[in-house]
Amino acid sequence: MSNHSEGGIGIGGVLLITFIILKLCKVIDWSWWWVLSPLWIPLVVFVAAMIIVTILVAIKEAFWR
């Protein structure tokens, strides 16, 4: 067996670093909210998906007993 782990920074990390560098070099004039969006957009999508799943489970439990 191999203990080789294939990790890495990922596309979100690359985008985050790129946006920060471009912001600090004054190449882009975006708000820091958008510069840091690769951090918070996946979290928002996950939370929204969990809310939808919770609502669907509650509806299923309420109507299909």
Residue 4 lies in a domain: no
Residue 3 lies in a domain: no
Q: Containing domain of residue 18, as a range?
A: 10-63
Tokens 């939370």 locate to 47
Collapse the DSSP code of 27 into the 3-class scheme (helix H, G, I; strand E, B; otherwise coil) and give the result. coil
Residue 5, judged by CB atoms within 10 A of its CB (0-12, 13-18, 19+), counts as exposed
What percent of the chain stands above pLDDT 70? Answer: 91
How does DSSP classify residue 25?
T
Q: Would you say the pTM of this structure is higher than 0.95?
A: no
Residue 38 lies in a domain: yes
Rounded to the nearest integer, the mean pLDDT of the chain is 91
Residue 1 lies in a domain: no
Residue 5 lies in a domain: no
Per-residue pLDDT at 4: 66
**How many domains does one find in the chain?**
1
